[in-house]
Amino acid sequence: MSAKENRSIALVVQSGTLDRLMSALILASTAVAMNMEANLYFTFWGLNMLVKGAMDKAGLPATYKNFEEQMRRRMAEMKYPSPHEMLKSIYATGKLRIYACSPTMGIFGIKKEDLIPEVTDIVGAATFLEIAAKAELTLFI
């Protein structure tokens, strides 16, 4: 395997809103298209979006709430896939790893069987730090 095939990005998805989820998914989608691996670590409000059925209900943050209807309408007109559909198509490339933050699961009382099947593993911050140390790009979203 060449060095190029090992290139990766590592994103912490802490937010639970549609705009930031879209930012994370667009970056992940772009990374895998460039033959990089995309590692997404979902924590806090982000982890809550990994609960079955939750991701496609994500709305906008309080600050931008009055843009929500316009944004949804435009994304529908532009035939954007839903966030979960988008995640599934990135996942199908085999280059996406979805990590669920274990301490957050305790705080919110979320169990493994509550999560979408695309979750690769339930891990703590130490695992994320090791993954991030090898990544070319790390962002907190």
The residues that touch a copy of itself, with contacts defined as CB under 8 A, are 7, 9, 12, 14, 16-17, 19-20, 22-23, 26-27, 29-31, 33-34, 36, 43-45, 61-64, 71, 74-75, 78, 103, 106-109, 124-126, 129, 132-133, 136-141
Sheet strands (E) in 14-136 = 37-42, 96-101, 121-123
The residue behind tokens 């937010």 is 15
Q: Least distance in Å: CB of 138 to a copy of itself? A: 6
| For a copy of itself, the closer CB: 68 or 117 | 68
The residue behind tokens 């994103």 is 11
Q: Least distance in Å: CB of 121 to a copy of itself? A: 16
Query: Any residues with CB less than 8 A from the CB of 138 and at least 6 apart, and which?
Result: 9, 10, 11, 12, 132
| For a copy of itself, the closer CB: 56 or 130 | 130
Q: Least distance in Å: CB of 103 to a copy of itself? A: 7
Q: Burial code of 3-18, b = ≥16 C-beta within 10 A, e = fewer?
A: eeeebbbbbbbbbbbb
Q: Least distance in Å: CB of 128 to a copy of itself? A: 8
Q: Least distance in Å: CB of 117 to a copy of itself? A: 26
| For a copy of itself, the closer CB: 15 or 97 | 15
Longest dimension (CA), the chain: 48
Question: Rounded CA gap, 99 and 123, in Å?
Answer: 7
| For a copy of itself, the closer CB: 2 or 63 | 63
